[in-house]
Amino acid sequence: MSNPRQRKQQMSVLDRLQRYLPQLVVAPPFLLLVFFVYGFIAWTGIISLTDSRMLPSFDIQGFQQYARLFAMDRWDVAFHNLLIFGSLYVLFALMIGCLLAVLLDQHIRAEGALRTIYLYPMAISFIVTGTAWKWILNPSLGIESYMQKLGWESFQFDWIVNRDMAIYVVVIAAVWQASGFVMALFLSALRTVDEDIIRAAHLDGASTTRIYIGIILPSLRPVFLSAFVILAHLSIKSFDLVVALTNGGPGYSSTLPANFMYEMAFRRNQIGLGAASAMMMLATVAAIIVPYLYSELRAKHHG
């Protein structure tokens, strides 16, 4: 038998353990996060100010690398592609996802199966998506040759090998992949809409289209915002889809900034330049995420 004094001490050790357990559990991941995410952001930031080539050096040279970056046509193309890809990808994924959600919301019979089918692309790796679409869109293997074999001799769909159109092929594949996810997001939100509101609108004489456009979709604004932020940051991070689908080509006509960064940092021994392009991507992400977080936090504050 332990004496009461000892037991009391044991209790207090346990008590203390219980009190600090959450901190103890959370601390290591937190430190790892700070180190690997924010630490490396800072490190990349510093490298981007140096003249690093094959190996990192810490010889600060100011904004020389950024000046080089902005002078490169390759970066220009990549960033321009990001604007095209990002805006079209976000727009079409939102529109198609939203439309699918509204159609599925009509309590149709095979809803469960359809939902799974639409959602499935999201579970596939970008590499698989890219490869599959590469085959589908390849003029001598895919749709074009198929249609021509069917007898439509003049059919042409060669975007994937066309300098001006290659980036739109990336958009098509990416939209195909993301629409189901957006649909799931919207569908779950549509299901929380009070059915009586729809009934009331019917009694007021509104058509179903009018009810969706005029009443239901406007009330889903927060979902639009979340979907927008998720898609926007996905588009900026896009890398593997381009690698698998076009490998940046023809030439470098369909590269995105992430591909540019990889090319410079890991293949051409231009670590400093790669770091500068990475910082530009970070700035683009921040331009989207920061206002979002700000509005979210402000909304919380105001109740």
Partner 1 sequence: MATISIEHASKSFGSTEVLRDISLDVKDGEFLVLLGSSGCGKSTLLNIIAGLDPLADGTIRLDGEVVNDVHPKNRDIAMVFQSYALYPNMTVERNIAFGLEMRKYSKAERKAAVREVASLLQIEHLLSRKPSQLSGGQRQRVAMGRALVRRPKIFLFDEPLSNLDAKLRGEMRTEIKKLHQTLKATMVYVTHDQIEAMTLADRIAIMRDGVIQQIGTPQQIYSTPANMYVAGFVGAPPMNFVEVELARRKDQFGVILPAVLKGQPIEYFLPLQETEQLAGREGSKVVLGLRPEMITHNAFGQSSAPEIECDVELVEPTGADTLCLIRLAGQPAKARVSPLFACEPGESMRFSIDTSRICLFDGKTKQLIG
Residues that bind partner 1 (CB under 8 A): 194, 196-197, 199-206, 210, 215, 218-219
Shortest distance (Å) from residue 216 CB to partner 1: 9
Q: Which is nearer to partner 1, 59 or 196 (CB)?
A: 196
Helix, coil or strand: residue 155: coil
Contact 155, 144 (CB under 8 A): yes
Helix, coil or strand: residue 49: coil
Shortest distance (Å) from residue 107 CB to partner 1: 12
Q: Which is nearer to partner 1, 101 or 174 (CB)?
A: 101
Q: How far is CA 206 from CA 67, 103, 200, in A?
A: 58, 18, 9
Shortest distance (Å) from residue 227 CB to partner 1: 18
Q: Which is nearer to partner 1, 164 or 196 (CB)?
A: 196
φ, ψ (nearest 5 deg) of residue 253: -70, -20
Q: 71: which 2 tokens?
A: 């002078």
Q: Angle at CA 182, nearest 5°, toward 177 and 186?
A: 160
Shortest distance (Å) from residue 111 CB to partner 1: 16
Q: Which is nearer to partner 1, 214 or 291 (CB)?
A: 214
For residues 276 and 126, give the distance between their C-alpha atoms in angstroms, rounded to a whole number: 26
Contact 244, 131 (CB under 8 A): yes
Q: Which is nearer to partner 1, 202 or 237 (CB)?
A: 202
Contact 127, 240 (CB under 8 A): yes
Cβ atoms within 10 Å, residue 200: 13
Q: Which is nearer to partner 1, 219 or 247 (CB)?
A: 219
Helix, coil or strand: residue 160: helix
Q: 13: which 2 tokens?
A: 């050790």
Q: Which is nearer to partner 1, 226 or 269 (CB)?
A: 226
Shortest distance (Å) from residue 208 CB to partner 1: 12
Shortest distance (Å) from residue 193 CB to partner 1: 9
Shortest distance (Å) from residue 184 CB to partner 1: 22
Cβ atoms within 10 Å, residue 197: 13
Q: Which is nearer to partner 1, 17 or 213 (CB)?
A: 213
Shortest distance (Å) from residue 202 CB to partner 1: 5
For residues 272 and 63, give the distance between their C-alpha atoms in angstroms, rounded to a whole number: 10
Secondary structure string (H, E, C) spanning 79-109:
HHHHHHHHHHHHHHHHHHHHHHHHHHCCCCC
